[in-house]
Every structure is written in structure tokens, then in C-alpha cells.
Chains A and B, each alone.
Chain A
């Protein structure tokens, strides 16, 4: 087996969760990786209590960037805007793999950066 491509990565790459778009989303962030052309869009809608009720993402690229986006979308559910803003690169790398080299870390954190851009509005 591969150290990098553990089952969770392959699973989320082949069966991505929460894929789609929310045209009316409260938060929409887009990020691309100029090195490889990977793209991710993240959409979040909040309910009356300010809790993330609908989360969608869309993108194109390598397994690491796409699986990370899928994993991130699962992490956002039920969180408030403030809680979401607390999510760090480290949180996603902990799930995806802490031994990634710098260029692959960029792939894995693409969705987090799309999220940050969305939160900034």
C-alpha cells in the first residue's frame, strides 16, 4: 500500500461527499493552485441559529486536493461561522497526512484556502 494514498484518501477521491454548488450560499470561496491547475470552490449556507446547514464543494484536480475538499466539507457540518474560522491547515493535514512534502501540502490545503477566501467575502 501507499503511505500517501491511504484508504480514506482514495475513498473520498472516488466517492466525494457534498459535491455541488449553492448559488445562494452565504459563503463562497474559490482557490486555484497555479502550479498544477487544481481548483476548488467551497459553498456554505447558515441556518437561523448561524450553524452551517448546507455545505457543498466543487473542484477538479489530484486525489489529495479533491479528497481534502471532501473531508473538509464533512468537518464543516454543524459548525458556526466562528468555529469554521478556527479551522487551520494543520487540522486538514492531520487527517490527510502529516508527512506530505511542501508541494503536496499545497494540494491538501487548497480547500482550506478556498474556505478562508470565502469567509473574508
Chain B
């Protein structure tokens, strides 16, 4: 097992200094840094095996195809999909959710049907449904958040579910609160009324072991760049039987079997949903990221972040004038994401002072405006930790809050 120093030494960017301070990167909720192993794998592919995929015959294309499709297998194993046929590569998780909206939902939902999402969602799990709802006369309902507790109001969700509900959308872990939602409970409830469930796993897959079959999900999406892989690659997992009966929405190369002047027949799943040349080097980079995460161990990563949360939360709450959104104590249903506000200070000023100390945190609406509105706030500051963040990083973070406070006192 790698210790924290070994892990940190795998990430070249962490040896950078910012404004004369060693970089402390705490914006992992937005994107993660990349280990040398991922960088090397992409470079090596481009240097030695680059070719288009699924074009066959010559050696390079065979190699590129084998590597690209090999990652599909890796992804399937990583999230415990039944088969790699259920793994679709997209540009990012946002595109994955939009693809569900534009294909399955558009083909199966009609006027008067209902979609349930939650107030806790990232905008990408709200806006695609709003667009579809407006276009098709579908009713969009929201599961409220119990703000003091930082959790979804599951009883309210039960009340919202009915025979017209066709889809329930929920984030596995909140990007603002760090709350791990009871996806399996919601999946069972959704299935009881004949609805499907779409899960945004962007903040979960990088940080904890995920088993899409155990969760009883129907759709599950996540992004490569938040889990040590490159940007430009997203994943959509969907049950094979759903993909088989859904029509593709993008036409072009690779997604067809035959084309005449008047019509075309589709390729098998998953390729019928992957029109055009995919992000081959990006997908191969994602494969290296999964290898890295698997080598460290997802349970180990989750435990490490839990330790960070146990260390940070009480100290953070102890600072006068500091308030933390959501769950106030470290436990199994909370990740190492800390969104907070400080009396008398705007989040942007907090982030600026942190930047002067070499610490990268997020400030703003966090792409979760309905959730902030529920807390009667327009913006927040957020520190989100990952496997390469140490207790020393946590100490630097806590010291910077105290410094910010002293500047504004």
C-alpha cells in the first residue's frame, strides 16, 4: 500500500509553488490533479500507438482499438457493471446526463409524465430535465433538502412518487455538502412505481467503491477528470436492456452497420451511441487513472478522506464565525467536502486570501444554485479533499481561515 508521501510524489503539480508557498490543492470537487502514470500513459500512446479506433487491419489501429476497448472493460469492472456493453464514453458527465434526456427520456416520456430530481443537485442534473420538461410538457418535481441536517427529505420524495413518475434523478454525493445520498433506497422506491433512476456519480466514483448493480441504478454517470484522468471523457453506464431498446441520437461514423442513400442500420451497443472518432487518448488516460485508483484501493481512499473529515470538521466548526453547510460531524454518509461561510467575509475574498497562501479552494455558486437558495445564500467557499491531501494540507487550510479572519477583523 502506498503511503501519503508516495502518493503525493506521483503528482508532479504538487511540487509547484504558488505565490511562494507550496501548492495545497483543495478544489478536487471541480477537478483532480493527474499522476505521472496517467500523463505517461497518454504520452506513450501518442508516441507509439496512435491511430483511429475500429478501423482494423493495420497494427497501430489494432493496438489503439485494443487499448481503447480495454478501458471499457476496466470501467465496467471498476463500477461493477454486468458487461462492458453497458459502458458509453461521452465528453463529460454533463453530456452523459443530457444523452439520457435526449435519447431514452425523449423516446419514452410523454406529456403529463413526471420527473423527480432534487434540490441538492448540480445544475447538470437539473437543467437537462428542465429543457425536456418544457419541450414535452413533462412535470419536473424537486425533493427538498432538510437544510439543518444536510440530507434529502426522503419522506417528501415518497410523497412525490406516483404512477406518472417515469424518472428519479439524484446525485450519489453532493458536490456542495459532501452528503452521500441513499441511492439504493430511492432506487427501490422508484422501481416500485415503475420509474427508472439516473444517478450522478461525479463526486462518488473518484472517492469510494461504487457498485451500480448493488445500488440498483438504471443510469449512472461520472467524469474522468475528477478521478485523476484527463478532461474530455465522461462515462454513461446504463442497463443493457435499456440501451438495446433506445435509439441513438447522434448519427455518423462508427455508430452504423450499413448506410444507403435512404437509410442506415445501427451498430451494436455501446457503439451505436458513440458517433464519430472518440477521445481515444483521453479514454486511455482514464484507464491509467483507474489502474492507479485500484492500486491504491478505493476503500483505502474513502477511509483516508474520512480521517481528513474527522480531523477537519470539529476544528473548522470551532473557529468563531465559521459556519459549515450540511452534516456537522464526520460519519459514513459524508465525504471530505467542506462548504462554509465566514461572518463578514465574502467567499471570493476568502478564496483570494487562500490563493495568496498557495491554497486552491472554490468560491461561488458551485453549480448548485437551488441548494444555496435553500440555505438562503448566493455563494459559498468550498474545500474538497482527495487521496493526495494530507493532515498538513488540512492544517494549512485551517490556518488560512484564521489568517483571513485576522485580515478582516
Contact = CB atoms under 8 A, between A and B. Distances in A.
Interface in A47-72: 61-64
Given A10-B407, A35-B364, A37-B379, A3 B348 contact: no
Given A2-B407, A63-B349, 11 more contacts: A1-B407, A2-B353, A2-B356, A14-B408, A35-B364, A36-B348, A37-B365, A37-B378, A61-B346, A62-B349, A104-B348
Given A10-B407, A63-B349, A3 B364 contact: no
A10 B408 contact: yes
A5 B349 contact: yes
23 contacts: A1-B407, A2-B353, A2-B403, A2-B407, A4-B352, A4-B353, A5-B352, A5-B407, A5-B408, A13-B408, A14-B408, A36-B347, A36-B348, A37-B365, A37-B379, A38-B348, A61-B346, A61-B348, A62-B346, A62-B349, A63-B408, A64-B349, A104-B348
A78 to B, nearest CB: 31
A76 to B, nearest CB: 24
Interface in A1-44: 1-5, 10, 13-14, 35-38
A110 B352 CA distance: 17
A68 B329 CA distance: 39
Interface of A: 1-5, 10, 13-14, 35-38, 61-64, 104, 107
Contacts of A13: 408
A57 to B, nearest CB: 17
A73 to B, nearest CB: 19
A110 B353 CA distance: 20
Contact of A36 (B353, B356, B379): B379
Interface string B360-371: 000111000000
B21 to A, nearest CB: 12
Nearest to B345: A63
